Amino acid sequence: MDVWSLEKCGFDAGEAVGDGNRFLCANGYMGLRGAPEEAGRDLYAAVTLAGVYDRNGQAWREPVNAPNALYLRLFFNGKALALGETRPIKHRQRLDYRCGLFSRDTLFDPVRVESERFVSMAEHSLLADRYRMQVIQDGEITLQAGISTDLWDINGPHFKGFDFRPGPALQVRAVTCEKGIEVAAAQCLRTDFETLERLEQRPEGLFRMLTCPVKKGQILTVEVFAAVCTSQEGKDPAETARQSCLRARERGFEECLKAHRDAWEDIWACSEVTLEGNGEAARDLHASQYHLNCIAPRHAQDLSIPARGLSGQTYKGAIFWDAEIFCLPMFVFTQPEIARSLLRYRIETLPGALKKAREYGYRGAFYAWESQEGGQEGCTDFNVVDVFTHRPVRTYFRDRQIHISADVVYALWQYSVWTGDRTLLEEGGARVILECARFYLSRANAHLDRTEVDYADVIGPDEYHERVCNNAFTNRMILYCIESALSLREVFGDKKAWFSSLLKEMDYERELPLLEELCGRLRGPKTREGVIEQFDGYFALEDCSLDAVRARLRDDREYWGGDHGVAGTTQIIKQADVLALMALLPEAFEDEEVEKNWQYYEPRTEHGSSLSACMYALTACRLGLLDEAWRLFRRTAGIDVTGGGKQWAGEIYIGGTHPASNGGAWMIAALGFAGLRMSNGRPEIHPRLPDQLTRLTFPVIAGGKKWTVDITRDGGSILPS
Ligand code: IFM
């Protein structure tokens, strides 16, 4: 089987939302959904921009979709030949993961359309398409080629209007409603046929209408070059976009494609994990790595990865803990400069976290649960809409999911341990850690009659149980944060002056002893026969099966959490919580304890979040439960091939690609099956290959050097490359 591509035959408009995700092309700057060239909002076409947000009225802020400058629509003798409107005789579409190339082969009566397109990995503002029409009968072809403004928006429109400019390159300029960010798109063509050309400006875009008589058997080709720029990167984005697509036209499609392919080759050279023994699993892992690599910020140094990547506006294009805990490890070990960008995003957005803490009456840094530009909180108090009453449901993710700040600290610290690079700590990371620790000091619940300090009224990773007390994950991660803050003294022992002046500047002298005190007083986990209680009172909840809880649902889209959710009064949890802790801090727990907790929590976990299966899989590897690990690996790696994962939280659409699962798939292969870990600054492996695999190989950057890991059924090696 071809382990490097995804192919689909036939076209079903009912599957357009999912196909747009599965066939995504992206380059970290923008994502082009896998819809056909002729698609508008009906088929969920969108070009989603990274880091450009807008709010229209009272609706949620979300990322902005740029005008679609790869738009093409075909007519034969005046009749449209368009997927979604015209039934094709045959249709096949394919995504080549090796080089992010989307292709289609559609046989309409009487024209066959074959095209290839990409979002350039070599030049971030560029997109290109080569569109071939083979005519089966004499007649007249009209091609509508231009920039479409008919895009799928969840909470749009996001532009005040459109300014259309004709010329050798068509241009559409628009300014966002909230912040006046200018977004410009340009398009130019290269055709191998003579046409009559007329310009059409319509509410849904600016187009060239190219008409030409055709003979049976004739083949016509048009190359389309498009560019998108915004005022966030420089002045006069319209002119920059215009020049960029005209330059690309001079080079031609083949040359642009070559540069794009070369860039992808470099990405795979440092990140490809090869699995042998199971073709489907190998393909799924390539899919995962493709999806994560194609949305990684490469054009900027302080952008991060949204929870649904660049596949649309779901989850408000926001950055969750997914980025640090699930996406980061693959980049740390393969492309550390991208890992730095994800972490720099948190350093740069510290002011947003300080502001959020202040708003809630705390000190220090309380990071946004759903972070947008500048660290602005995108999460609202009502994040789900009830399917029965159609009313917003009060959710507490924004205000009580306080583990987010500790997750940021965990990532910063792990990065410096794994890479040995302390510069990020010096360049703002240490300040982030200290501000997060300060937040937890001020958020702690101390009691006059007890020594122990609680964290009450929180939400752990399992979001079905809100407003709980002493969530084991949260408390332990807070401890990690506090210990990291205290360890900074040793880490910067040789730079005492620098560190002392930072403490002074932050007016931190009083806090250090308090942090030490908190370490000693923080409530540890309660256990029952070796099983950690997820939060105070969890064991007293109804202990029933997942199926029993599922049977209580009255609607497929019903939200399981919130005030009336079916899971809230039971021990059924949404996602790895205690087990996530054990996967993140493996040395803190003995095997026996881990096994007991795995056995207890796995059957009680819905895996209702795409963040869940990989945490369990990592632990299953540790315990040698390799069949379980394999099952969870397949679920994790296959998510953006099958289009799995939950699509709805109540009435809110939450589908898209799943960067956290994509990163999770790499973690299972590298950290789980290969058992990669750092020991005294050197990488080592502890292989645990499931029976389904015969070989696993991948490159790693660790301790400043390049290594190759190679594992077979007879053992494994990690050697300098
Ligand atoms: O961050 C996750 C969260 O843990 C569960 N709900 C979805 C979020 C985004 O993936």
In a domain, 2, yes or no: no
Residue 493 has pLDDT above 80, yes or no: no
> What spacing in Å lies between the alpha carbon of 632 and ligand 1's midpoint?
18
**Cα of 506 from ligand 1 centre, angstroms:** 32
The residue whose CB lies within 8 Å of the most ligand 1 atoms, and thus the one to mutate among 295, 314, 320, is 320
* 158 found inside a domain: yes
Q: For residue 497, what pLDDT is reported?
A: 87
In tens, the pLDDT along 215-233 reads 999 999 999 999 999 999 9
Which pLDDT does position 646 carry in this prediction?
82
Residue 498's Cα: distance from chain center in Å? 36
428 plus 477 within the same structural domain: yes
Q: How many C-beta neighbours within 10 Å does residue 270 have?
A: 17
Tell me if 322 CB under 6 Å of ligand 1.
Answer: yes
661 lines ligand 1 (CB under 6 A): no
Q: Which domain-ending residue is among 242, 270, 298?
A: 270
Report the residue among 367, 611, 662 best suited for mutation to probe ligand 1: largest number of ligand atoms under 8 A from its CB: 611
Token code pair at residue 167: 């010329």
Specify if 589 maps to a domain.
yes
Do 430 and 412 share a structural domain? yes
Rg of the chain taking only CA atoms, in angstroms: 26
Question: Where a domain ends, among 270, 290, 306?
Answer: 270
* Same domain? 171 vs 296: no
Strand partners, 31: 26, 48
CATH (domain of 493): 1.50.10.10
369 located within any domain: yes
- Full 3-state SS string of 597-659: HHHHHHHHECCCCCCHHHHHHHHHHHHCCHHHHHHHHHHHHCHHHHCCCCCEEECEECCCCCH
Total number of domains constituting the chain: 2
- 472 and 547 co-located in one domain: yes
Find residue 148's DSSP bridge partners: 68, 205
Is any atom of ligand 1 closer than 6 Å to the C-beta of 463? yes
For ligand 1, atom 10, name the residue with the nearest CA.
307
DSSP string, 394-457: P--HHHH-THHHHHHHHHHHHHHHHH---HHIIIIIHHHHHHHHHHHHHH-EEETTEEEEE--S
The percent of residues above 70 in pLDDT, for the chain, comes to 100
Pocket perturbation via mutation, ligand 1, pick of 292, 315, 322 by most ligand atoms within 8 A of CB:
322
Q: Is 660 in the pocket of ligand 1 (CB under 6 A)?
A: yes
pLDDT of residue 653: 87
pLDDT value of residue 200: 97
**Residue of 372, 395, 463 best suited for mutating to test ligand 1, as the one with most atoms within 8 Å of CB:** 463
Is the CB of 662 inside a 6 Å radius of any atom of ligand 1?
Answer: no
Q: Is 85 within the bounds of a domain?
A: yes
CATH code of the domain containing 141: 2.70.98.40
The answer to whether the CB of 656 falls within 8 A of the CB of 21 is yes
Q: Where are the beta strands (DSSP E) in 41-138?
A: 47-54, 62-65, 68-76, 79-81, 90-96, 101-107, 111-119, 126-135
Tokens of 162: 């459109």
The three-point CA angle 250-251-252 to 5° equals 95
Distance 676 CA to ligand 1 centre (A): 26
Model confidence at 151, in pLDDT bands (50, 70, 90)?
confident
Mark whether 419 and 521 lie in a shared domain.
yes
Amino acid identity at 465: H
Task: Tell how far CA 535 is from the center of its chain.
Answer: 29
**Inside any domain, residue 13:** no
What distance in angstroms lies between residue 21's CA and the mean position of ligand 1's atoms? 18
Is the CB of residue 608 below 6 angstroms from any atom belonging to ligand 1? no
Sequence-distant (≥ 6) Cβ neighbours of residue 458 within 8 angstroms: 400, 401, 402, 403, 467, 468, 469, 471, 474
Which pLDDT score, from 0 to 100, does residue 624 have?
A: 98
Q: Quick check: CB of 64 below 6 Å from ligand 1? A: no
Largest CA distance in the chain: 92
What is the pTM for the complete model shown?
0.97
pLDDT for the residue 647? 85
Is 5 inside a domain boundary?
no
Whether 217 and 280 map to the same domain: the answer is no
Rounded Cα distance between 234 and 242, Å, is 14
371 close to ligand 1 (CB < 6 Angstrom):
no
614 and 603 share a domain?
A: yes
Q: Residues 64-90: pLDDT tens digits?
A: 999 999 999 999 999 999 999 999 999
Q: Which atom belonging to ligand 1 lies closest to the Cα atom of 320? A: 1
Q: Which residues make beta-bridge pairs with 542?
A: 570
Residue that is written with structure tokens 């020991």 in the block: 679
Report CA(604)–ligand 1 centroid distance (Å): 18
> Same structural domain for residues 347 and 213?
no
Query: Is the CB of residue 461 below 6 angstroms from any atom belonging to ligand 1?
Result: yes
Is 174 in the same domain as 138? yes
Residues with active-site annotation: 463
- Does 18 fall in a domain? no
Which residue range is the domain that position 634 belongs to?
272-720
Q: How confident is the model at residue 240 (pLDDT cuts 50, 70, 90)?
A: very high
Give the distance (Å) from ligand 1 centre to CA of residue 575. 9
Note whether 281 and 414 are same-domain residues.
Answer: yes
Q: Both 334 and 253 in a single domain?
A: no
pLDDT at 681 (0 to 100)? 87
Secondary structure of 72-97 in HEC code, one letter for each residue: EEEEECCEEECCCCCCCCEEEEEEEC
- Indicate if 253 and 301 belong to the same structural domain: no
Q: What is the pLDDT of residues 569-628, one digit of tens each?
A: 999 999 999 999 999 999 999 999 999 999 999 999 999 999 999 999 999 999 999 999
Q: What is the pLDDT of residues 83-141, one digit of tens each?
A: 999 999 999 999 999 999 999 999 999 999 999 999 999 999 999 999 999 999 999 99
Q: Is the pLDDT of residue 386 over 80?
A: yes
* Listed residues 235, 251, 270: the one ending a domain: 270
**Which has the closest alpha carbon to 330: 267, 266, 247?**
267
Q: Does ligand 1 come within 6 angstroms of the Cβ of 511? A: no
Atom of ligand 1 nearest to the CA of 308: 10
